[in-house]
Amino acid sequence: MQTDKYVLYEVLQCGDVEKLINADEPLLYYVTIEETFDVIKRAHIATGHGGRDRMIKELQRKYANITTKALELFKSQCEECQKKRKRPMTKGVVMRPILGKELASRGQVDLIDMQSVPYSNFKWIMVYQDHLTKFCILRPLQTKRAAEVAFQLVDIFLLMGAPAAL
């Protein structure tokens, strides 16, 4: 039984260009080195920046000699695809806020400097924020001395409970 498969090469005249084809069904074109880049690029765009396998599917119906390696190389060098791939990677670098598990488990205190626009003797606004709920309590301060801050803090703690971490 004859099982050898041999390729039927033919030259196809396209206008004034001659193209080497595999004349078996389906008819496949041989791509020159110079054409390879454009052919792959077209397939890559046509598949919506598709990956190797989608490009193979697109190309194997028309071309005889586009290698998987060339497709992988093109895909790895495509600027659009690199941008897309980088986005999830940077996600890991972004700092994730520490979240307390319950109300008043974490509290944060800041002072807003109002010295340039004092209200009678009050020159500071103390901001206490619950980390989980973002619930905010404001207190006016005359100074930022520890005793005054502590006095207001104790008042807030009595209102909503003392946090495990401040």
CB 24 within 8 A of CB 12: no
User: CA 157 to CA 104: how far, in whole Å?
Assistant: 9
Q: Which of 20, 81, 127, 137 binds Zn ion (CB under 5 A)?
A: 81
Of the pair 20, 81, the CB lying nearest Zn ion is at: 81
In angstroms, give the least distance from the CB of 75 to Zn ion.
7
Query: Which segment (78-86, 97-105, 121-129, 150-158) binds Zn ion by CB under 5 A?
Result: 78-86
**Closest-approach residue to Zn ion (CB):** 78
Of the pair 53, 80, the CB lying nearest Zn ion is at: 80
If one asks whether residue 80 binds Zn ion (CB under 5 A), the answer comes out as yes
The phi-psi region of residue 48 (left if phi > 0; otherwise alpha if psi is between -120 and 50; otherwise beta) is left
Q: Which of 19, 49, 54, 62 binds Zn ion (CB under 5 A)?
A: 49
Query: Which segment (6-14, 34-42, 71-79, 118-126) binds Zn ion by CB under 5 A?
Result: 71-79
If one asks whether residue 78 binds Zn ion (CB under 5 A), the answer comes out as yes
Of the pair 71, 156, the CB lying nearest Zn ion is at: 71
Q: Which residues contact 62 (CB under 8 A, 6 or more apart)?
A: 28, 29
In angstroms, give the least distance from the CB of 31 to Zn ion.
19
Instruction: Give, for 42, the enclosing helix (H) or strand (E).
Output: helix 33-46
Distances (CA, A) of 160 to 27, 105, 114, 128, 143: 78, 11, 26, 11, 24
Q: Strand locations in the chain, DSSP E?
A: 9-14, 17-22, 28-29, 107-113, 124-130, 136-141
Query: Which segment (42-50, 64-72, 147-155, 157-165) binds Zn ion by CB under 5 A?
Result: 42-50
Chain residues that interact with Zn ion, rule: CB under 5 A: 49, 78, 80-81
